[in-house]
Structure formats: C-alpha cells, structure tokens
Amino acid sequence: MRNAPPLMSLNEALSCLLTAAEERPTIDTVYDTVYMPTIIANRRILASNLTAPINVPSFNSSQMDGYALKASDAIATGKTLLPISQCIEAGHIGVPLQPGTAARLFTGAIIPVGADTVVMQEDCEVVLTAEGSAIRLLHIPQAGEWTRYIGEDIRQGSIILSAGMRLRAQDLALAASVGFAVLPVKRPLKVAIFSTGDELIMPGETLTDGAVYNSNRFLLTALLENLGCEIHDFGISPDTLEATRTALKHASQQSDVVITSGGVSVGGKDYIKPALQAEGCLRLWQIAIKPGKPLAFGEIGSSFFIGLPGNPVSSFVTFLLLVRPFLLRLQGVVDVAPPSYSIRADFFWPKAGTRVETRNEFLRVRRNIDGGLDLYPNQGSAVLTSLVWGDGLVDNPPGTQINQGDWVKFIPYSEVI
C-alpha cells in the first residue's frame, strides 16, 4: 500500500488561504466601500484612512473643577487672596481674565485668555471679603497645571484610524470625537453556508433513531455574524454527489465565499471533495491539526470555498484558526493572527501516540482562580460541552507532552469571537 502524503501544517494551510485572499485581483472593486453611520459601524472594516479635521481639544480647557488664574499671581500659600471675577461652565466662553483675579470654572470649561494654570478646588479655600468672594490658595501652582492644551490628544490633519482595521467601540468613539457622523467601511462579505448529511435534522423536529440536531448551522451563523458577514443559508444538502454539486453551484452564485460543514472526510458518503473538483478547483485538502484534520479549500466560479469538518468542535477550531483570518484578510485586514499568551498549565497531557504525533493539538481549557489553566476531561471532537465550559485553546506543538507547571500557548476565545 502506498504511503499517504504528509499532511499540510497549520502554518502552511493558513499561508495558502491568506495568499489566495491577497491574490484576488478584484478585491478593491468587489468589496466596495459603503458609508455607514458611525453609531452602527461596530466590527466593520474601515475602508480608508481617517484624517482628523480638527484639533482635540479644540481649545485650552480645564481637567478639573477649580479656578483658572495666572501662576505669577500666586505669591505665597495662605497669604494670597484672589478675587473671583467670573464663573465659566463647560460649553460657555468667559471674558479675558482680569489681572490678579481667578475664574471659577468646571471640568471641560474653556480657560480664559490671561490665565495659564488651573488650581483644583480641593487646593483652594473660598472666603468672603468686603468686595465679594475670593480664594485663598492652599497650593502654589506652576503654569500649566490641570490644563488640557489645544491638540494635546489629536492634531488636525493626523491619521487617527488606519484603513483595514476592524472597528471597535473605542475606535468609533475616537472617530466621533473629531466629528465623523459616517464612516467609509468595506461592504459585508456575502457568505453562503450549508450542511451535508442525511442524519441531520433541525431543532423543533422529532429526533428519530440515527438522527442528530444540526448544531453546526447555529455555530457558523453566529461566528459569521460576529464578523459582520451577510449570510445566505442554504440549509441541509442530502448525501449524494448530485445534490452536493447542485448546492455548491447555487451557493457560489450568490456569495463571495461558500462554507460547508460535513462531508469532507474520506467516507463513502463524503461528497464535498469530488463535488468541488467537478464544479471548481481544490487548493487544499487535510491539515495536521487535532481536532480539525478534514478541511477543504478551493474555488467555485468567482467564489472561494471552505469545507469544514462535521464534528462541531472541529468546525469551531478550524473556523477560529483558518476561516476567521481568511475572511478578515479578504477584506483587507492586515493583522489577522489570533492573539496568544503564555500561561501556566495546571494539568498533565501525555505525549501523543505515533499516529498523530505530527499534528498540532488544540486543547479546550479554562483559566482558574490561581492564574493557571485547567483541562476539560473529555477532549473529543464532538464534545460541544468542552467549548461552553472552556474559555480558550492551548496550542500544543506536535508530539509535545505537557507537565503540570509548564508554560503553554493560550488563545482566549474572547480575542477571536
């Protein structure tokens, strides 16, 4: 019997997908720019650099509730009385400060012309004089204290957000702070999904002998929604070559990317590979990871195709490690690698056997109160409870034993979902 060819490593597979995304000649025109209100642009991909049209702050302002004055008027603590000549609230403009006086002002208020420092109210004592109210300084300030200067945060004309970034809450706030009511963003990717398998039924239907509920449909829909994709759901395809070819052809006509689950292994009823080869081209088949070995990547017409494994944990892991970076890069995002951290393992994991020692293992783990990681006891690729129980994956290199106290590479779900 001929030896099977070596499996493609995870890094090689990821490089294949990202290169394909970058080679798409029409990426700049296919994924058109649309203008979306800033308030609802969360998680969208920014299509072009944002340049600040104003300075922030656009005026010198107070960081605290207190009193604006000229520092040279503060001669000695406890001896200088400065009359309060005006009160300035945020959003209002005062008059130039009279020499030898102080202006009462509140956080965010404009510092009046003639003042060069702010003394916070806790360092002042208000006293009544024959002429009215005055402050006695309990602290002698230097020029510039508690003052926010024009352009201190953002300079007019500077790039505040770069094209290709995936917008977060803080990014939207920054854009709003310089007055952007709408943002140029990439239009959502159109992603078609369907599952394969005669055994699959939908929740709400009667569970008969041999049938299983289609959890992957819900898994993929939610993961794609998190990436802001426009989802076209083609349901469940029967286990025949003709039905699989028809589903692939129809799905590719309405999408940028087709993603399936199931039918990518080597069983007698796994028709994704021959259907893809008949309708398009196959670029990648099977990778050296566990869970998630069965994975297909190719093209159908003008659409990309990714076939994920049927086991839900395998689908989840391969989506996070390969599909998510691919979809982001397809829209121009540069930094697509999942963040990882070195954390202590509070468990033992034996070296893998000879048959799988060339595969990266991704273990479902959870952080504990002592700052380490606990391991879910059942690491089977169909055990969905391990995903719910855990809060991340340990990327364990091929053939590596993990002893208690070892430092391992941890990928938290919170960074990639």
Low-confidence ranges of the chain (pLDDT < 50): 1-2, 26-30, 356
pLDDT of residue 266: 66
* CA–CA distance, 60 with 369 (Å, rounded to integer): 46
Residue 273: CB partners within 8 Å, gap ≥ 6?
264, 282, 285, 296, 307
Specify the residue for token string 């991340």.
Answer: 392
Is residue 211 within 8 Å of 201, Cβ to Cβ? yes
Give the per-residue pLDDT at 79: 61
Judge contact between 309 and 295, C-beta under 8 A. Answer: yes
Distance CA 376, CA 385 (A): 9
How far is Cα 90 from Cα 106, in angstroms, rounded to an integer? 6
* Domains with residue ranges and CATH for the chain: 10-32+188-330 (3.40.980.10), 37-53+156-186 (3.90.105.10), 61-148 (2.170.190.11), 341-415 (2.40.340.10)
pLDDT number for residue 267: 63
**Residue 26 DSSP symbol:** T
Burial of 220 (0-12, 13-18, 19+ CB in 10 A): buried
Tens of pLDDT, residues 71-129: 998 875 556 789 999 999 999 999 999 999 999 999 999 999 999 999 999 999 999 98
Question: What integer pLDDT is reported at residue 319 of this predicted model?
Answer: 96
Spatial distance between the Cα atoms of 173 and 180, rounded to a whole number of angstroms: 10
| pLDDT at site 285 | 87
ω into 339 cis (within 30 of 0):
no
Q: What is the pTM of this model?
A: 0.84
Instruction: Report how far apart, in Å, the C-alpha atoms of 411 and of each of 284, 349, 408 are.
Output: 25, 17, 10
CA–CA dist 268, 245 (Å, integer): 16
Query: One-letter amino acid identity for 4?
Result: A
Q: Is 185 helix (H, G, I), strand (E, B) or coil?
A: strand
In tens, the pLDDT along 170-194 reads 999 999 999 999 999 998 999 999 9
Please give the Cα distance from 273 to 255 (Å, whole number): 19
